[in-house]
Structure formats: C-alpha cells, structure tokens
Structure 1
Amino acid sequence: MQNSSRIGALLREWRQRRKLSQLDLALAADSSARHVSYLENGRATPSRAMVLRLCDALDVPLRERNTLLLAAGYAPAYRESRLDDAELAAARSAVATMLAAHEPYPAVVVDRWWNVVAGNSAMSVLTAGIPEHLLTPRPNVYRLVLHPDGLLARLANPAQVRELFVERLGRQADATGDERLRALYDEVLSYPLPMDPAADRTAPSGPFQVPVRIVTPLGEIAMFSTMATFGAPADVTLSELAIELFYPLDEFTAATLRNLEGRRGFAAVNGSSETGSDWAESGADASDGVDGAEDHVDRREERR
C-alpha cells in the first residue's frame, strides 16, 4: 500500500500539471476514470505496463518516468548514460557533425538545465567579453545571457530578450516540476532589469518577434535560432540534450560572421581550445548542472 500511495500521488501531480481530468487521462491511456481514481487514491497498484502507458499519455520526461516506475516498485526503464559512454558514440558523432557544419554561424549543445555541453567556434561571437565567474565551473545559457555582466549588456533589445527567456524558463519549470529549473528561474528573475525596460518594446518588423540583436564594434548583428533534439531517445541523457542553431537575420550579419570565421575559438565559453568534436569531454556528466517556442517548441523543450 505504501507504493500505491506514493505512485498515486505522483500520478495525480502529473495529471494536474497537464491540466487533464481523470476521464481525459483514462481515455488517453485506454483505461477507465474509475481505475485512474483508484490508482491516484492508492486503492490499486498499477502494473509496469500501465505506469508506462500513463507516462506516455501525460508526456512525462524520461527522467521522471524512471522516478514513477521506482515509486510503483519497478526498476527504471531508461538508462542514463554519461556523454562519453561508448553507447553514445553515434550521437556524439552526429552532434559534432552538426556543430562543425553550422559554422560560421553559432551553435551550442545544452542539457536539460541549459548548461553548456559544447559548441562550435562561432559561439565566441556571443560569449566575447563575458567574465570568468559566468564561465566556471560550467557556463549556463541563462546566466550567460541574462546576468547583468553577460550578453545582456551588449544587446540592442535586452528587455525583449529577457522577457522571452524568463517566460520560456518559467513555462518549462512549471511543465516539468524540476526543482533545479525552478531555482534557475528564481535566480534569473532576481537579476536587475535593463536600464530602460520599455526602450525596445517595439512591434516586430520581421518574421521573428524577438531576434537576438548584438551591438558589436563592426555594427549591430541580428540572429534567430532553432532547436534540434534527438528523435525517440531511449536514454535519459540523450532525451535531455538539445542543439540551438543560430542563423543570420540579414545579409550584414551573414557577411560579418563569414568574415570572422577562423579567427575565434570556443575557449571563450568553455575555457579550452575544444570544438564540437570534443563535446563529450567538455560536457562531463549530464546529470551535473545548475544548483538550484511556441506550443510545439515549448512541449519539445519541456520533455527534456
């Protein structure tokens, strides 16, 4: 009964997080509302197969699926590898290829908590001048961008970028219930606002509401980004990795990035001369990390 009570409470928590009724969940999991009610109240213990069906219906991330299985008294279903494990060799090769092929445009690999795992040499465009205390022991995208000593100081639209990042992180923390994401959200929310938060609140004039606009000695460059994730991962580590690829928004930016190619290194981010081909060594253990876009994109990020 102790296992029944524990798994029941977790199932109820995930159902409420997804804003589903017991009937909604039952229909999605090919069960009955009465059975779901019994499971949540501890009057019945779900089988291993039922736990996994409910997790599918609730879109529970792999890490939390293991937690639910353990709570029900079963062994975890998904392995959590280290980035340098032999089993991830094909994934490492794929990531290294993507990072290298994307140059001269920036690309970065992040884990679930937005810690930088690796990136290509073009990332120095985003990290130039960022102080050491934001780069060690491991850089975090949200700190690199939103901390007052970070990229925010070089942005032409700091208020827009801050609002977008904070909103996105808050939704991810709510959707996953991850305490480390919540701690990161609380931390970045405490950072001081830009000097004039309303200065860059203008209507978007292009296809992207909030491009990253960086003021450089060569002029203002503008980029947008897209996120890539692994399809149907069966490993917790792979399921939580994402690659953010930046693209130029105009020809001036494209020409500037092309001209800078070959004159920079990812050392500005990870404190070494490593490039994307060494991403496993720079990432260490994906379970280390922070101490504690729209609907389709957000759900993809939340599953991490």
Structure 2
Amino acid sequence: MPPDSLTLQPEREPLGTLLRYWRGQRGRSQLDLSLDAGVSQRHISFIESGRSAPSRDLLLVLARALDIPLREQNELLLAAGYAPVFLESSWDAPEMASVLRAVDRMLQQHKPHPALLMDRYWNVLRTNDAAPRFFGSLTDLSHYPKPRNLLRLMFDPEALRPYVENWEQAAAALLDRVQREVVGHVVDQKTVALLESLHAYPGVRELKTLRSHLPVVPLTFRKGGERWSYFSLITIVGAPNIVPAQELKVECMFPL
C-alpha cells in the first residue's frame, strides 16, 4: 500500500471536496491559496463549501497554484460541470508526433545500452533494439504480453527477478521510485493496484531499504559467468500541455 507520506487520490467527488483535498495535499491554507492565486480567501471558502460556482478560468488558476496534474485538472473541471481542457488522447496520437520523434531519437542514440519509454504505470510503450535483446537474453519475453510492465518483470520470480544479483536492494529502491515519481505526488487508484500486485509476490512485503555508498542504487544482473551493472537516467517532457505528454518518461540505462 502507499506510504503515509502519500495520500490516496479520491474517486470522483464534489468540486469543493476535490479542491480541499488538493489544498491539503500541498499543505496550503485557504489564505495561502488566495495569495498564490490572487483570489479572496472568502471566495475560496465559498467554492469549497459549495456556496459559489467558480468560472472555468478561475478553476484553472487555482489548479496551477496547487500544481495539480493535467489529468486531475480535467477531473476538477468535470466536477464543476465544465468540459475538460487538456487532451487525454493516447500516447501515440497525432498531436504527440513531435514528442515521439524526439523520444525515438533518444532511444536509438542510446544503443548499445537499453532504453525504454514508459507511461505513468511503468508499462513499456517503446524501446530501442538493445532493450528486448538484453532482457530477452535473461528471460523469455514472449510469455509476457505487450505492453509489458517493467516492475512486474522485475518482481516476478518467473521473469527477471532470478537474474538480479542485488534484488532485495533494487526492489526496495524501485518501490521507493514508484512513490517518488508518481505524477503529482499523489497515488491514484491504478497505482495502488500496481503496488498491491507487486506486494503479492513472495518476499516483497518484508523488503527493507538497504543503504549504499554509491550515489545511485545499481541494478546488477547476472547470468552464468556474465555480470552487468546499470544505473538509470530519467527524462520527462518539459512544459507538457496534454495529458499523455505529462505522463511519459524515458529511462536510459547506463553501465555503472
């Protein structure tokens, strides 16, 4: 389950409840939000209590002040009776073409080392040739339908887990990454389901973070007499304006 430092995002709720929830997540009082957004505290209080119906533009101002992710900004608008303003098209929609061209260039330029494009739930959407070649040399990827989930491959005792030399350390670090990298720093229902599926694997609930003298936690694979140790750099899209652009990340694995 999510740690205490992250709160589960609520299901569809009234506008006032959602706004109060996000304000609480960011540790902002009504006065803080009023100063950040240039709106009176009284007006914010009326919105949260349901006594006032804000305009769409005002809601977007409040959402930006609270750094609410784009997908959740759409939820806020829907709760107020407005149509969403941020496209929630698929990651490979035409409007994403320029971003994906840049991603493909990054993936290919990173050869001969593995590089992957993933969504917010760690589903692998694209890779360079090196990624399936490397991971496929460790386990039979054909047993796992696309889109393959990198975390499940790492935690499944039938997949990559037996080949990870420092699995307990790496797995604990990956769970920490899920919580740190979650969009908006709030665990939604699908992330909860993903974490629960990972905790269902043997030995996961007992994991403890192990300290390392290195600046990063390495991911070390071993098969036969060969050994590979990697660390990752993560790239995200700057100034995203549509939902899938905010939720994609490129992971490039570098030899350590």
Q: TM-score, normalised by structure 2?
A: 0.85
Equivalent positions of 1:42-191 (< 5 A) are 42-123=50-131, 124-131=133-140, 135-171=144-180, 172=182, 175-191=185-201
CA deviation after TM superposition for structure 1 residue 160, in Å: 1.0
**Pair 1:36-2:36 in alignment:** no
Amino acid paired to 2:99: A
Which one has the bigger helix percentage? 1
Alpha-carbon separation, structure 2, partners of 1:173 and 1:108 = 18
2:233 aligned partner: 226
User: In the superposition, relative to structure 1, how do residues 97 and 169 fare at CA in structure 2: closer, same or farther (>3 Å)?
Assistant: same
- Structure 2: tracts of 5 or more residues without a match: 1-12
For 2:136 and 2:34, locate their aligned partners in 1 and report how far apart those are by CA, in whole Å. 48
Identity of aligned residues (%): 38
Q: SS of the counterpart of 1:164?
A: helix
Alignment RMSD: 2.4
Instruction: State the shift of 1:53 in Å.
Output: 1.2
What is the rounded CA distance, in whole Å, between the counterparts of 2:34 and 2:225 in structure 1? 58
Unmatched runs of 5 consecutive residues or more in structure 1? 250-304
- 2 CA distance for matches of 1:28 and 1:230? 25
**From 229, 239, 243, the counterpart of 1:236:** 243
Q: Does the 8 A contact of 1:108 with 1:118 survive in 2?
A: yes
- Give a deviation string over 1:108-127, Cα, whole Å, max 9, x none: 00011111101111113234
TM-aligned CA deviation for residue 92 of structure 1? 1.9
Pairwise CA distance, 1:58: 1.6
Shift of the alpha carbon at 1:42?
0.8
Letter in 2 for 1:30: G
Q: Which amino acid aligns with 2:172?
A: E
Aligned-pair CA distance for 1:71: 1.2
* Alpha-carbon separation, structure 2, partners of 1:136 and 1:227: 24
- CA offset at residue 223 of structure 1? 0.8
Q: 1:148 to 1:173 in 2, by over 3 A?
A: farther
